[in-house]
Structures are given as structure tokens and as C-alpha cells.
Structure 1
Amino acid sequence: MEGLSKVLSCPVCMELFTPPVLLLSCSHNFCKQCLDLVLVCQNCTHDNGQFCCPVCRKVIYLRGRGTNGLQRNILAENILEKFKEELETLHTKEQKQLAQMCKKHGEIMNLMCLSDEEPICGTCKLFGDHRSHQVAKISDAYAERKVSFAEDIQLVLQKSKRAAQAMQGTERRIRELSSSAADTRAMMDAIEESLLSSIRGRVATLKQHLESELSTKLKQLQLVAQELQAPRQLYQQMKALLQHHTSSVQFLHEHKKLKEEMERLMGGSKSPQVPAKDNISTRSYFQKLIKGIDITAFMPPETDQMLVPTARLREAWQASWTQGPLSQEAVEILCKAVSGWVPKSNEEAKLPGNPFYSPSSRSGAQGKEADSRESTV
């Protein structure tokens, strides 16, 4: 095999030929890629050029087609393929023989240690670690364990069939779960924009209404404020004229106008009345904002961990929800909870958007203050 390997080796790379194998007119064979390197080294870059054989130095003419015009040695390629197959077979046999050899003593393992359940050689039994162990011929142990192994395979096969049936059901459940999740996600995506647009529109409308109401009430109060400031302004003008007029003509001229203003002011039926307290109703806007929204869905379900005002809020909300509009008590308690009236501990302040906290978290003055506030609600 070694001699055949030398014959099937390229003179340039000294390795087995890499197809395609090219045959020169001097009968020497080369790998095509090696011959291309030879042409580069000899500055033969033209398809009509010539070069010298690296072995015998005979001049070879390319005849217009470069290395593609050289003869291909199909026989050498076939022999090379069979040679590689034989090498692979020999390598497999060597590996098989090595697997049957004892790594410790280098002998063929022809015994089976029944105590350790592993193949051993004769030296291992006579002088090695298995001197006191029971052994059997490796051929007998092989036949017995092969039959037992075939029976075990059948048991595993039955188990595998049952597992395959269960796997089909599991895969079906996975597909159904993924499908239902995809349908739910599609539904949520479909209504998300319309729902958010509705909420944004409601908030925008309420903000416009709030600004309009604020502007109207501010104008009314500003008019009353101007009327209330008129006597004071007239007094200051009259006093300034009396003390600082420059001449009698100027005094008489200004006196006439201020006198008329005084008579108009004093002749009024009544003093302007300050409007009754008319604040913007947070309750009203809150009712409009949460109309149609079940606020109980956003409350903690653990009623035993909520404060008393929160429990009263749930009861008042449920009663109002079934009877119609929110009661004043429910709205006031809910507004206090939403606006942060319920005191929070340091840890619970980290929870975003949660106005509730556990009674166990209150301590000291905060607990007493919270209890006193709860008793007043």
C-alpha cells in the first residue's frame, strides 16, 4: 500500500492526487491545481504558451487552451478512488482491532468480567485488578447480552410508541395554544387603536370643556373684582386731585368728571355681590371620565389587605354601579384614593399607580394618622 501511495502521489505537492489528474506528453501526472502553480512560477500566462515538466524538464506546449487542453488521466483517478476506499477500510479495521485490545496490557480482550461488567484480557484476570472476580468467555457473554439487549429494545420500542402518541396530543395542544394566542393577539391589535382613540377623544373633549368652564367662571369673577375695585380707585383719584391739583381750572375740570363718577357709583342700587362658591366639580369630570369603565377591575382582589376606605369604596361603587350614577360618597372616596389621599409607606411608594397598601406596613405616627383619617371618612 505504501508503494501504491507513492505512485498515486503528485510530484509537486507530494500528496495523493487531487482530481482532475492531468497527463503530460512526457507521461508524468500532476494535480491540475499544482500544474497551474507551475505555470505561474514559469511565467506561462498565455493559453498558447509553453512550460517545462517539473520532473523531466521536457517542453510542453499548451496549444491555445491552457491546462484545459491537456489530457486527463481517468484511469489514475479511478485507481485513486479505489485506493482511498481501501485506505478507509483498513483504517476501520485497525480501529476495530484497537477497540478489542486491552489498553493496559496490549492484549486482545477475550474474557468478560461478570463483577464489573466489562471486557478484560487474560493478564487482567491472572495478575491485574480482576484476579478475584468471576469471568466468562466473551463470546458467551456477547450472545447472552445480545439476546437480553434485543428484549430491552422491544420494551423501549413500546415505551416509545406510547410516548409518540402522547407527543401527538401534546403537539396538538401546542398548536391549539399558539393558534388561540395568535387569535387573541390579532383581536387585541384590531381593537387597540379604536379603543385608545376613543379614550383619547373622551379625555380631549373633557379637557376642552374644562378650559371653557374655567374661562367662563374666571370672566365672571374678574368682572365682580373690577366692580369691587371701583370705589377704591375713585377714592384714590379724588384724594390725588384734592392734594396735588396744579390750578383752580384744572381742579374744576377734573372735579366735574369725578363728581359724575361718584354720583353714578353712589347711586347704584346695591354693592356688587361676590358669587357663591362655585368650584369646578372634580366629581363631575371623574364621573364622565370613567363612564362605562369598571374601576373594580383595577383594584387589588385581596380585600383583607386593603384599608377600610378602600373596602367602603368597593361597596359604594358596587352599589352605585347597579343602581345607576355614582353616589357622592363613592366618588369622594374614590377621588381621595386616586389622588393619593391614602398614605403610602416607603416600600409601597415604589409600586407605580397603586394607591393602596397593606395595613401591616403602617407603623408609628403614620399608622395613627391614617387610623384617625379613616375614622373621619
Structure 2
Amino acid sequence: MESALTCILCSDAYNTSNKAPRFLPCGHTYCSECCGIILEQNPARCPEDESNISYTSIDAIPKNQALLKLLQNTNICTEHKKKLEYVCINDKIRICSRCALMGAHKDHEIKTIEDVHNEVVMRAGVLVDMLEIIDKTEAELSDTIMVKLEAVADQYDNKKVELQKSVKSEFTAMRAQLDALEKLVLNDLNKSFTNIENNITSSRELPKVIYQQASEWKDMGQCVPNSTL
């Protein structure tokens, strides 16, 4: 296990900074410093199989995440061989006391693992409390909203029925008024038609009456004897 955590070129232990393990295209892994030396060669080739390397910078070479995870899971600093008792907040990794005092993390924010654990537990507790408050508030709001929605729905139903009744009543009254007006207009029209028809009939009978009266006057004139002068 220990040999797997050291660079085969320089025999230094891998770490998460200047000695971070990096994958070459051929699959071989070396630390960042050795990869920098390899890239300075022309052409750049893998020391083991001499395959060409197309990368032009160290940062372009991907890190070996499997080895980095393995480093994180160990309790001993591979660089200083001391217990990992601290956490670098900036890089989010565990480090030893020498890493914190004189290593690559000396200017970073450092906390003990216990402090970080307590802080995480405290924040988790706060989050749980907040979630409970949110759930309770959401339930209360949901109940309040449902009550208001039901009240609005009832008001809507009542208004709908009221409006329907009002419209039907108004149209019923309008129909009654129209029926009465229709009867009145028709009655007036019928009276007018009767008068007109009577006048027409009278006009047709007038010549007959005049002729009859003339005939009667004529007959009466014939019955009167002529006067003797």
C-alpha cells in the first residue's frame, strides 16, 4: 500500500499539492513535480513506455482521483508520516500538524477535525430545526389557503346561483311585459282595421244609396199631376 502512494520516479509520497498524482495518456501515474520535468523534455515521453505526451502544462494533466481518494482515506500524512488531525478549509482536505505549520497549507484556514465535526453537527442541527419550522409553516399555510379557497368557492357558487335566478327573473318579467304590449298593439291594430274596413264598406254602398234615393224621387215626381196654367 505504501509503495502505491509514492511516485516511482522520485520516491516521494504523493500529496494533494505539489506531489499530487497525475495520469499520463498512457495510463502511468507520476507526481506533479515529475510530470513538470517530463514536459520539459523535447519531445515529452513517458519514462516507462516512451509514449508521446501531448499535454503542454502540468494543470492540463488530469489528477489520479482514485489515488487522491485513497490518500484521503488514510489517517497518516504520506508526506510527513504524521497523523491527520486537522482540516484545511481552503482545500477541504485533512492534513497533519507539519502541513499546517510549514507545508503547502500554512497560510490557509486550518481547523481541528473535532472542531469541524462539531461545526458540521451544529449546522446539521440548525438545518433540521429550520426544515421542521418550514414544514410546520407550510402545513399551516396550506390549511389556511385551503380554508380560504373553500370560502371563495362557496361564495362563487352562491353568486352563480343568485345571478342565474336574477337573469331568469328579469327575462320572465320582460316576456310578460312584451306579451302585454303585443296584445295591446294587436288590439289597437284590429280596431283600426275594423274602422277602415267599415269605411270601405260604406264607400261601396254609397252609390247604391244615392241611386236608390234618386229613383225614389223620380217615382214620386211622376205621381204628382202637372199643374194647369
TM bracket, shorter-chain basis: 0.3 to 0.5
- Bigger RCO (CA 8 Å, 6+ sep): 2
TM-score, normalised relative to structure 2: 0.40
Larger-Rg structure: 2
